[in-house]
Chain A
Amino acid sequence: MIQLYHVYKAYGDEQHALHDVTLTADKGDFLFITGPSGAGKTTLLKLIFCAEQATRGQLLVDGINLQRLKRSGVPYLRRKIGVVFQDFKLLGERTVFANVGLTLEVTGRPRAYIEKKVRQILRLVGLDAKENHLCCRLSGGEQQRVAIARAVAANPIIVLADEPTGNLDDEITLEILELFREINRRGTTVVLATHNRELIGKVPGAKVGILRQGRLVAAGVARQVMAQRSALEISSQGVL
């Protein structure tokens, strides 16, 4: 579903934001991308939905080679990918319904279809009672739910989420994570970038890729990778 082969990303002459990253996510995977701030998590997500272009390497999404994708093809790729942004990117002065419906509007769907689909998605995220509320009046957790609803409204095959729980308290964080699990259970590949490693253990069967200064330092099944990393950290503390 998502394949990165020796991908590099550099901004000008500065240090590589991503350095020789090779990583895959199959259909139906739940992949965590983790690492400290500035590790390259956001850059990696941006490459996948064509907000940035890789400097070198090969990147395939649903079989499409993004290095060869023309500008006119980008909107059609983005319709396959739902994105949840760290800052939500909602239209504050618009209603919940309008924000979620926007994804369907841009694909030229008829009004009746949009109304039916938006209500269905709002039920999924638990916001069906607030469809006419302005987004600026909602809490952080509710805004995040609207952002998730918008990301999944067009039935994408992949959902990317950049630090979706970064500004939320623990309880809401778990609720949001559960929403992503539900989306994943319906067959959608989920790629979630977070610096919060505690989340990784809460999704059984998830995969993980750990980035540090733009390099992929570990990747695989989350439970195994995290166990290895913990053992490594304990042994290095012992040596010290």
Chain B
Amino acid sequence: MRIGLLVYFLRKALENIWTNRFLSLVTLSTIAISMLILGLFSLIYLNVQQSLHQMGGELQITAYLQETISSEQAEVLRSKVADWPEVEGITYISKEQALARFRSQLREYAGILEGLKENPLPASLELTLMPQYGRSGNIKELSTRLGRLPGVAEVQYGRKWMAKLRVFVEVMKLVGITVGGLLLIATIFVISNTIKLTFYSRREELEIMRLVGATDFFIKAPFLIEGLLHGLGGALLAAGGLSLLILFLFSHLDLPLRLAVMAGSLPTGQLVAGFLGLGLLLGVLGSMVSLRRFLRP
């Protein structure tokens, strides 16, 4: 297609948007809000799922040791447990190592640990299990066995809350797909309606264009571009809104919650790209729905 023709179509599309500017604004807002809601769902879902994946990949049991146990006794204990067939790896974390790790997790808030007179963190053994053993689900039996060993004060594993989190993620996914699907259909409907109204407002001109030899493509193209611009504009607004929302939430979250959120990553780059792609698709679909009906022979 010639550049000049493309410029002509773009100019006509912008003229349409300007002529129906109030309607275009409503359309842009509707698309932006729909995509913002969809984006929020996706972001929370992706984040929780990624965190879950990371935790799931490290099927881990922590055995906290009693305060009275010496490092030599701890080493004996480590060698003993390392021989168990279910154990893939085992690491001894001393009290000092535990404190250093906590300090690094706190990052710029590490200063709050300066006032401590003594190290409150216990030494521990961190066990990584064989993947096939984790799937068999006999972690409870293993942790009971571990808890009975002399020198072990407490055993922790995150299976219960991980299971609950998995259910939450699944529910979230279902709600997200349902709400998202409905919102996307509504968005297509809104774009289609806007194009329909623009079409009505220009129907006399379009009729004359047809009579003087305009092809269907020539008539359709500016409307397709108009829908595309609506979709793209709405997506950009939604992406901007979502970025602002994330910044706001981050600056207002309490420390533990922020640490929890940071456990996963925020794939905002992909999400924005996805938004733009979805916006374009919605725009074209919305336009085509209305144009198909108008340009029937």
Interface of A toward B, CB cutoff 8 Å: 49, 51, 71-72, 75-76, 78-79, 83, 85, 89, 91, 102-103, 105-108, 110-111, 150, 154
Contact = CB atoms under 8 A, between A and B. Distances in A.
Given A71-B297, A105-B8, A91 B213 contact: no
Contact of B208 (A49, A51, A72, A89): A89
Nearest to B5: A108
A91 B4 contact: no
A105 B8 CA distance: 9
A75 B214 contact: yes
A115 to B, nearest CB: 13
A110 B4 contact: yes
Interface string B209-223: 111111110100000
B58 interface: no
A91 B207 CA distance: 11
B291 to A, nearest CB: 15
A51 B211 CA distance: 8
Centre residue among B205, B207, B208, B212 by max chain A CB count within 10 A: B212
B212 A102 contact: yes
B208 A91 contact: yes
27 contacts: A49-B211, A71-B297, A75-B214, A75-B215, A75-B216, A78-B211, A78-B212, A78-B213, A79-B212, A83-B211, A85-B211, A89-B207, A89-B208, A89-B211, A91-B204, A91-B205, A91-B208, A102-B208, A103-B212, A105-B8, A106-B212, A106-B213, A106-B215, A108-B2, A108-B4, A110-B4, A154-B213
Interface of B: 2, 4-5, 8, 204-205, 207-216, 218, 297
A166 to B, nearest CB: 19
B208 A76 contact: no
B209 A102 contact: yes
A177 B297 CA distance: 35
Contacts of A85: 211
Contacts of B205: 91, 102
Contacts of B211: 49, 51, 78, 83, 85, 89
Contacts of B207: 89
A76 B8 contact: no
A78 B216 CA distance: 13
B171 to A, nearest CB: 51
Contacts of B213: 75-76, 78-79, 103, 106-107, 154
Contacts of A110: 4
A53 to B, nearest CB: 11
B260 to A, nearest CB: 59
Centre residue among B208, B210, B211, B218 by max chain A CB count within 10 A: B211
Given A91-B204, A106-B212, 4 more contacts: A75-B213, A75-B214, A102-B212, A107-B213
A106 B297 contact: no
A108 to B, nearest CB: 5
Contacts of A51: 211
Contacts of A89: 207-208, 211
A51 B207 CA distance: 11
Contacts of B214: 75, 106
Contacts of B5: 108
Contacts of A102: 205, 208-209, 212
A102 B214 CA distance: 10
Contacts of B8: 105, 108
A83 B210 CA distance: 12
A108 B218 contact: yes
Contacts of A72: 215-216
Nearest to B202: A91
A75 B217 CA distance: 11
Centre residue among A71, A72, A108 by max chain B CB count within 10 A: A108
A65 B207 CA distance: 24
B210 to A, nearest CB: 8
A89 B209 CA distance: 11
B9 to A, nearest CB: 10
B218 A106 contact: yes
A111 B3 CA distance: 12
A79 B210 CA distance: 10
A68 to B, nearest CB: 16
Nearest to A105: B8
A139 to B, nearest CB: 21
B1 to A, nearest CB: 9
A106 B216 CA distance: 10
A150 B208 CA distance: 11
B85 to A, nearest CB: 74
A76 to B, nearest CB: 7
